[in-house]
Amino acid sequence: MRQAERAIFDLRRGLPIVLRHQGAQTLVLAVEGLCDATLSAAGTLTGASAALVLSRHRMAALGHVVTAEAVSLVFDQQPMEGELRALAWTRGAALPHGVQVVDADQTNLAALRLLARAQLVPAALAFAVPEAARSAVEHELAGGQLLAVEADEALRLCRSGPGLLTRVSEARVPLAEAENSRFVLFREADGVHEHVAIVIGDPGRWPQAVPVRLHSSCLTGDLFGSLRCDCGEQLRRGVAAINEQGGGVLLYLSQEGRGIGLANKLRAYGLQDEGLDTIDADQVIGFSKDERDFRVAHEMLDQLGIAKVMLLTNNPSKVEALQRAGINVVERQAIYGDVTRQNERYLQTKADRHGHWLHDLLSEQDEPASAEPERLPAPGTAGGA
Ligand SMILES: Nc1nc2c(ncn2[C@@H]2O[C@H](COP(=O)(O)OP(=O)(O)OP(=O)(O)O)[C@@H](O)[C@H]2O)c(=O)[nH]1
Ligand SMILES: [Zn+2]
């Protein structure tokens, strides 16, 4: 396993890592999981004070518009753990006086991207290791207490797609909505994420444009029928619709919470209960409105030999992502869950701020909205779906 992938595990365990860039070293800690003891141990080891690295989304939530993807906050006095946490994700926090805001350098950017990839809150504490502390840090590295990663390697890992997915195992799994189904499991190169293709019907008899749904995981909705979203119904109706159309594939993607992970989605739910919408809540924690990378779906379709699809979605980004990857999306069919008192605002936000094709559903709640397939223009031509 590459060092950068191992670093993700260490960060998730609350351990520090060392990022190297052009001969310099930076000790990095996730603010999530930080305690005063680790903070002071890092300070003692490096003899340095730390910068807090935040995303531009978090800065916007703090009321500061910045153009760089990430910034480093440099303090005149080292804040305590509680203040750092507040700056990292508390709603209504403000930058303290005397703090300097500078664009994050390569190393600090790498730290932040690793945290986002690890589905932690994207807020990093970065201690630039001075010459005097080099040997102490080297000693920890040699003893295996610390892991060192090249910042460039970390950036490469975070930029890359899923890598070559390994088709690991498969089995027949009859479903209530589609008896003739097979689950095919794919594993990403980093060993962390696994995605499942639910292959419905007999591939030899599939329609020419294969009915396909990309479904991002939602533990609360898919498994427990949460009323906060429409995911559970979309999942089951998706399987049924594919089955009725002669078979196809549902890709069940490990992209909980639009890619921010379950822990952050629950944090975001807390903020939504305070009145924020789904996008603003994610921004408070430091995320963009959608952190998903649909290259993984393209890779799975490739391995299944599918190049021409009829996509079941209300999300224009999914159509664009597949078309960009060279998949011929010839049709798009709406796939709706029910509108409930609890999910109406969520759906309205998706329609208004994500651009989802949901306005029909939301304006015609008395009559079920049409789910007729809609022909799409060829990729690269003007016009929308
Ligand atoms: N961050 C965040 N994620 C949410 C919230 N509600 C649902 N989700 C996630 O949103 C994703 C929805 O996935 P999909 O249904 O595949 O995608 P979609 O963008 O709605 O597109 P279509 O359903 O295809 O129209 C899942 O990963 C859910 O876990 C929320 O309030 N905040
Ligand atoms: Zn959901």
Exposure letters 103-123 (e unless 16+ CB within 10 A, then b): ebbebbbbbbbbbbbbbbbbb
Q: What is the distance between the alpha carbons of residues 324 and 379, in angstroms, rounded to a whole number?
A: 8
- Residue 103 annotated in active site: no
Does residue 2 have a pLDDT over 90?
Answer: no
| Cβ of 280 less than 6 Å from ligand 1 | no
Q: What is the distance between the alpha carbons of residues 59 and 77, in angstroms, rounded to a whole number?
A: 20
Q: Which atom of ligand 1 is nearest to the CA of 356?
A: 25
Task: Give the ligand with the smallest distance to the CA of 281.
Answer: 1
Q: Tell me which residue of 66, 160, 163, 60 sits closest to 113, measured CA to CA.
A: 160
CB neighbours of residue 136 within 10 Å? 14
- Which amino acid does the sequence have at 71? V
In sequence order, the 6+-apart residues with CB closer than 8 A to the CB of 149 are: 3, 4, 6, 7, 17, 18, 19, 20
Of the pLDDT bands very low, low, confident and very high (cuts 50, 70, 90), residue 384 is very low
Task: Give the ligand with the smallest distance to the CA of 353.
Answer: 1
Is 169 annotated in a binding site? The answer is no
Q: Which atom of ligand 1 is nearest to the CA of 278?
A: 31
The pLDDT, as a whole number, for residue 380 is: 58
- Per DSSP, helices labelled H in 245-294 are 262-273, 278-285
Residues 119-160 have pLDDT tens digits of 999 999 999 999 999 999 999 999 998 999 999 999 999 988
Residues 21-77 have pLDDT tens digits of 999 999 999 999 888 888 888 989 998 889 999 999 999 999 999 999 999 999 988
Do the Cβ atoms of 212 and 312 come closer than 8 Å?
A: yes
| Cβ of 268 less than 6 Å from ligand 1 | yes
| Cβ of 250 less than 6 Å from ligand 1 | no
Query: Whats the size of the chain, residue-wise?
Result: 385
Look at the block and give the residue holding tokens 């001075």. 130
Q: What is the ipTM of this complex?
A: 0.98
What is the pLDDT of the chain when averaged over all its residues?
Answer: 92
Q: What is the distance between the alpha carbons of residues 50 and 280, in angstroms, rounded to a whole number?
A: 28
Q: What is the distance between the alpha carbons of residues 259 and 290, in angstroms, rounded to a whole number?
A: 7
213 beta partners? 250
Residues 296-321 have pLDDT tens digits of 999 999 999 999 999 999 999 999 99
What does 198-209 look like in DSSP terms, one character per residue? EEES-GGGS-SS
Q: What is the distance between the alpha carbons of residues 313 and 303, in angstroms, rounded to a whole number?
A: 21
Lowest mean pLDDT among 4-18, 299-313, 347-361: 347-361
| Cβ of 265 less than 6 Å from ligand 1 | yes
Provide mean pLDDT across the span 197-215: 97
- Residue 290 annotated in active site: yes
Q: Which atom of ligand 1 is nearest to the CA of 264?
A: 1
Is 213 annotated in a binding site? The answer is yes
**Three-class SS of residue 95?**
coil
The pLDDT, as a whole number, for residue 364 is: 67
